[in-house]
Structure 1
Amino acid sequence: MAQALLTSPANPRLKAIAALRRRRVRDQQGVTMVDGIDELELALAAGVRPKTLVLCPDLIQDADRERALVERAPEATVLRTSRSAFEKVAYREGPDGVLAVVPAIARTLQDLILPVDPLLLVAEGIEKPGNLGAMLRTADAAGVDAVVAADPVTDWGNPNVVRSSKGTVFSVPVATDTTEATLQWLQEGGVRLLAATPDSDLSHTEIDLTGPVAIAVGTEKEGLTDRLMDAAEHRVRIPMHGQVNSLNVATSAAILLYEAERQRNSA
């Protein structure tokens, strides 16, 4: 017997999922949402076990992929909805008909298992989920061993972080802690810290980025805190030849991480 479609966004189960847009609700329930088939497939490959799958037959273009998702999440409750109901619940515009509720991403610094010469990214005080997600995509591509959010304004489970990271928030090791705890953790692990700032005469290409190293970036408006800047072994800048004196933080992180990748790959 075919499963009945949920057609009203006022359905209690769908309302509960839509409420996960709010951080307070996510924190209370210890879950977040993954909106999109590509993102969910990456999360499943990383070992995430969905609690609920919400599927819209009218939006899903590949029945085989839908069937495979259900088979890979045998413990999940499966809900099928009408198009109008799904579009009300989905986080993003133009959804593809696949949404899941998954356990929250709640790793601490002590949960991270690092190689002997890790490449780390420390993102301090980042406010915009899209920037945090974009940095995760770069971290995944550049082979970064972990990304640490120090004193963040947003959380790893923000649906826009999940979306803008294309699901790499589940595959790249991440952690959250205070700036002070992060600095202590880096020191105890023997990891050199480099701070990105326009107020330096030292180019990012002039520094050895091999071995255990953490690259720290801050917000475009405020930059890194004095505490983190003082703790850095070197302060480096990205050359700027135009009228503005800073790049988008995700762009800055990409430039710095790929310089590190170039040096480490050459070495």
Structure 2
Amino acid sequence: MNKVISSSQNPLIRQLVQLKDKSRERKKSGLFLIEGEREITLALKGGYEFESVLFNPEIISEEQLNNLTTKQPNFIEVSTEVYQKLAYRDTTEGIIAVAKSKNHAIKDLKFSNKNPLILVAEAPEKPGNIGAILRTADAAHVDAVIIANPKTDLYNPNIIRSSVGCVFTNTVVTGSTSEIIASLKANNIHIFCAALQASVNYNTQDFTKPTAIVVGTEATGLSAEWLDNSTQNIIIPMQGEIDSMNVSVAVGILIFEAKRQRNFK
């Protein structure tokens, strides 16, 4: 028989609210919340372990729960009041998993592909942009997404939501700009920086060799350290009044040009 929690003041529920709201609690405990069937399914495919799964029987049936996973996690039935306290989305599916974080250190990144295509984003701040970038990376099946000098943790609920679970389907690592540049150079990976300075049109470059495409923030662009270590700076030609576009849109253009050159392999 499943455990049942009906009070939002239950100590476990109070702890889970902290996990939802505070990056510090996620890092300290090594746990985070995943809301929704699709996101939970992708996390399972990505090899994530669950500590428990909370569900509201008013929204989701036990049959749906059992179809979700072959492993039997610790199921906890919660009342509608408790579920609404934990849910992040307005439109929801009645299920929230408590998952264990993975290690995302750059030093542990290994390439199975001898000719990798990598996306690097330096200091992205908006979870929505990070999520959109991860969706594009999944669609293009890049070999890794590297976040340099991250401003938010990967298990921020907004990143999970906006990536529609693609944070679990990509190989994602983080590190300082210096660590990442050193790793790319050690692996003989060419560095193409999206920048206004000393740049050439992106479609004039050869992305069929080991390639890292590097993007910065819309406000400040890339740091000087990246530009000093760039194989070639690249630019997307603009025909309007402004000289930049949303970073996630730029990522889509650049990554799929690389995929086109590689015959989408």
Q: Normalising to structure 1: TM-score of the pair?
A: 0.93
Distance 1:210 1:56 in 2: 49
Letter paired with 1:96: E
Tell me what 2:51 maps to: 51
Tell me what 2:162 maps to: 164
Distance 2:91 2:197 in 1: 42
Q: 4+ runs of 1 displaced by more than 4 Å? A: none
Provide closer, same or farther for how the CA distance between residues 185 and 201 of structure 1 changes in structure 2, counting only shifts above 3 A: closer
Tell me what 1:17 maps to: 16
Segments of 5+ residues of structure 1 without an aligned counterpart are none
For the residue of structure 2 that corresponds to 1:250, the secondary structure is helix
Letter paired with 2:27: D
Superposed CA offset, 1:43-90 (max 9, x none) = 111221111101111122x65332223x4342x321111222201111
| RMSD over aligned Cα atoms | 1.7
Equivalent residue runs for 1:187-202 within 5 Å: 187-202=185-200
Tell me what 1:84 maps to: 81
8 Å contact from structure 1 (residues 127, 154) kept in 2: yes
Tell me what 1:41 maps to: 41
For the residue of structure 1 that corresponds to 2:5, the secondary structure is coil
Identity %: 37
Tell me what 2:119 maps to: 121
Superposed CA offset, 1:195-223 (max 9, x none) = 01234551111111111000001111011
Tell me what 1:223 maps to: 221
Equivalent residue runs for 1:135-214 within 5 Å: 135-214=133-212
Distance 2:115 2:199 in 1: 27
For the residue of structure 2 that corresponds to 1:120, the secondary structure is strand
Provide closer, same or farther for how the CA distance between residues 155 and 4 of structure 1 changes in structure 2, counting only shifts above 3 A: closer
Superposition deviation, residue 257 in structure 1: 0.5
The more displaced of 118-127 and 3-12 is: 3-12
Equivalent residue runs for 1:249-264 within 5 Å: 249-264=247-262
Superposition deviation, residue 106 in structure 1: 2.0
Distance 2:264 2:67 in 1: 40
Provide closer, same or farther for how the CA distance between residues 98 and 203 of structure 1 changes in structure 2, counting only shifts above 3 A: same
For the residue of structure 1 that corresponds to 2:120, the secondary structure is strand
1:72 to 70, 73, 85: 70
Matched, 1:109 2:97: no
Superposition deviation, residue 143 in structure 1: 1.4
Tell me what 1:94 maps to: 91
Superposition deviation, residue 176 in structure 1: 0.7
Segments of 5+ residues of structure 2 without an aligned counterpart are none
